[in-house]
């Protein structure tokens, strides 16, 4: 039985959410009408998971989240509005320690809830199994830790994993899902401005969120970060974020490697698809020049393509269970023999810089 606290200032939304989880079964639930009640209920009810609205009276969701994570850390799934402002607030929530998010239904709640209830239940069940990040582990403190680890890794160049050849011409692919935005921010911020490889990121995310996510990353990364919402030449110095609501593919245009969005392929469960990105890289780039990183997330998206990249001479990194919010996608890669190396999130940027000669 999962103990679930539902927090929303709308009585109708709370009733709809209660109904969804009652029909699913396996939940013991309580409700809170605002952030103040959420903090109190987290202390007294001690839920396994909290679904948390952002815009609420008396105490907003972000402030409540910061108090919850300071007093009694718990797995939190944000229920966010499908707006640019909602997207930015959601990323702040993930930075504060939220595990995942679901886009709040618009229009007639009872009708639109049907479209998201399966995703909502799946994410809440996944959050109940998620590994929480350490208390007080802010982006700033973890970024400093990444820098320290990069120095340690450089000093330990005799390690077999760091003795592999430096690839001056290369391509970096990154796949991520649940817990990915926060981890991506930590890793990408530690790739220097002279990082020699283009970076392509497939992060499972709704269409309305990826532009805001790319803009947020662009503010903290030395490299230029862009949403791949239209065909773009693949060039060093750039990070390309796959557009939500689409898949990201690589092709050739006028003799140049190009990244472009494509309609979601119904044969694949998750989008932007990590698997399709990996397959298109195998078709358009030399596999030996491809490095692929699999980060935290539920499911198995990308594990087959990344395993094939390793088989054909490329290199792969799987995030370790210890640092994953959800050890699903990296575990699949490891189990299939597709991981060249397994590293905690705090060590991945340092390893990539070493392989790239930076």
Catalytic entry in 212, 301, 320, 340: 301
Strands 171-176 and 290-294: parallel
Please identify which residue in the block is written with the tokens 């390690």.
159
Active site residue 145: no
204 catalytically annotated: yes
Catalytic member of 8, 204, 280, 320: 204
Strand residue runs (E) in the chain: 2-7, 27-32, 49-53, 75-80, 100-103, 171-176, 199-203, 224-228, 232-233, 238-242, 246-253, 256-263, 290-294, 315-319, 341-343
In this structure, what token pair is assigned to residue 148?
């320290």
Catalytic entry in 177, 273, 323, 340: 177
Tokens of 129: 């199994």
Peptide bond before 333: cis, by omega within 30 degrees of 0? no
Q: Is residue 320 annotated as a catalytic residue, yes or no?
A: no
Supply the DSSP symbol for 327. Answer: B
DSSP string, 169-183: S-EEEEEE-TTHHHH
- b/e per residue 65-82 (b: at least 16 CB within 10 A): bbbbbeeeebbbbbbbbe
- Angle in degrees, CA 165, 169, 172, rounded to 5: 90
* Continuous H helices in 35-83: 35-44, 61-71
- The span from the CA of 21 to the CA of 14, in Å, is 11
Q: Which residues are catalytic?
A: 177, 204, 301
């Amino acid at each position: 039985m999962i103990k679930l606290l539902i927090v929303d200032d709308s009585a109708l939304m709370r009733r709809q959410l209660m109904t969804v989880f009652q029909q699913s079964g396996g939940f013991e639930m309580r409700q809170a009408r605002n952030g103040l009640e959420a903090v109190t209920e987290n202390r007294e009810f001690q839920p396994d998971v909290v679904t948390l609205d952002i815009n609420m009276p008396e105490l907003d969701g972000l402030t409540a989240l910061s108090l919850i994570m300071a007093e009694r850390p718990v797995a939190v799934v944000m229920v966010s509005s499908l707006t640019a402002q909602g997207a930015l607030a959601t990323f702040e929530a993930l930075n504060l320690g939220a595990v995942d998010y679901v886009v709040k239904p618009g229009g007639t709640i009872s009708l639109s809830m049907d479209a998201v209830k399966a995703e909502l239940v799946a994410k809440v069940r996944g959050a109940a199994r998620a590994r929480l990040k350490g208390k007080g582990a802010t982006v700033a403190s973890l970024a400093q830790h990444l820098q320290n680890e990069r120095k340690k890794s450089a000093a330990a160049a005799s390690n077999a994993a760091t003795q592999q050849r430096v690839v001056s011409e290369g391509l970096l692919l990154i796949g991520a899902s649940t817990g990915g935005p926060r981890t991506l921010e930590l890793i990408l911020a530690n790739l220097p401005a002279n990082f020699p490889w283009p970076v392509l990121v497939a992060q499972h995310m709704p269409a309305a969120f990826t532009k805001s996510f790319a803009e947020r990353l662009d503010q903290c990364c030395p490299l230029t970060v862009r949403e791949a919402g239209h065909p773009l030449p693949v060039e060093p110095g750039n990070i390309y974020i796959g557009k939500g609501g689409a898949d990201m593919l690589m092709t050739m245009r006028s003799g140049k490697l190009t990244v472009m969005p494509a309609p979601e392929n119904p044969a694949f469960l998750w989008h932007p698809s990590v698997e399709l990105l990996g397959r298109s890289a195998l078709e358009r780039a030399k596999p030996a020049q491809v490095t692929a990183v699999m980060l935290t997330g539920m499911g198995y998206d990308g594990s087959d393509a990344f395993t094939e990249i390793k088989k054909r001479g490329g290199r792969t990194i799987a995030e370790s269970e210890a640092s994953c919010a959800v050890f699903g996608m990296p575990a699949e890669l490891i189990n299939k023999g597709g991981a060249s190396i397994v590293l905690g999130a705090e060590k991945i940027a340092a390893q990539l810089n070493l392989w790239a000669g930076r």
